[in-house]
Structure 1
Amino acid sequence: MEYDSMPLLNAFIKETLRFYPAAPYLERVAGEDLVIPLESEITMTSGERISHLPVKKGQFIAVAIAAYQRRVRLEALWGADADQFKPSRWLEDDPCKGKALGPYAHLASFSGGYRVCAGWRFALSEMQIILAELVLNFSFALSKNDPVRPLYAGILVPITEKGVKGLPLFIERISE
């Protein structure tokens, strides 16, 4: 099968990676003094307005991937519906109206730059193959009695409202 030519499958994968990145944030240490430009000015608690963030060598930096990829405040980047899980956004054009941060679909889910995930293409192939085969052979349903929400605990973990970690699913084989 040619998985890259399956638009619905790939739209679903892209939106899942945008909305639920496995690593919601990355931590880095600045190797040199640098300045991070901001897309728009922000007001500090002191009242000072700044358009860039100075970073000193050795300073820890947390990159908020999950916030970048789904925040409503980033309407200019992801559209007015940035807070909604909507795979169809990937079917027409590239929905990201900003600079590419990562190697795949403008998403930072696999990091970016010289620290990009070396296995991102393999991970993407695994997702395509496994999802295509599962959807072809099984139907899936969530429990209506115990909704699941994401819990960010270093990595993304599904958790039910009753506090059970994991994703309880009803799975049924589709008859041939």
Structure 2
Amino acid sequence: MANHGYMSINGKSQGLISAGCSTQDSIGNKCQEGHRDEIMVMSFNHNMLNTGNVRASTHGPVVITKSIDKSSPLLAVALSNREELNCVINFYRISQFGQHQKYYTVDIRGCIIASLTVEVPHSVLLNDIDAQEHLSIRYREIIWTHHLAGTSGYGSWETGR
């Protein structure tokens, strides 16, 4: 079973970019009333590595796959204007009681959108796939929190430089 993720995005200029993103008008029948002001995350990827000749870890961008929604034009503006953002991504899973529970959070601060790719699949050959966006986000700081296990961590690309 797939785990769900939801992301909120606050822009320095535009405010709550994710406001109304999980509504009927924004994403149609996929709307989630309990996550009205969050963006549904279909995929999350993030890579960090230690390279032998560099004194600090290398933080790659956080890459999100999401549906085209109300935030899509606002994210394009944020990229165009190099607007600083703060993003919180919450991950949910099914509990032992069959309920959705938030178990993990990634909080990224001082963000800039590095790339935004819109993908509308071929309407005949791939007629069961929805349009989506791939959003690459570079950040200054990252905080990981595992709510149920009580652990957390902090990282910054500025650390050790």
TM-score bracket, normalised by the shorter chain, equals under 0.3
Higher strand share: 2
Which structure: greater helix fraction? 1
What TM-score, normalized to structure 2? 0.25
User: What is the TM-score normalised by the length of structure 1?
Assistant: 0.23
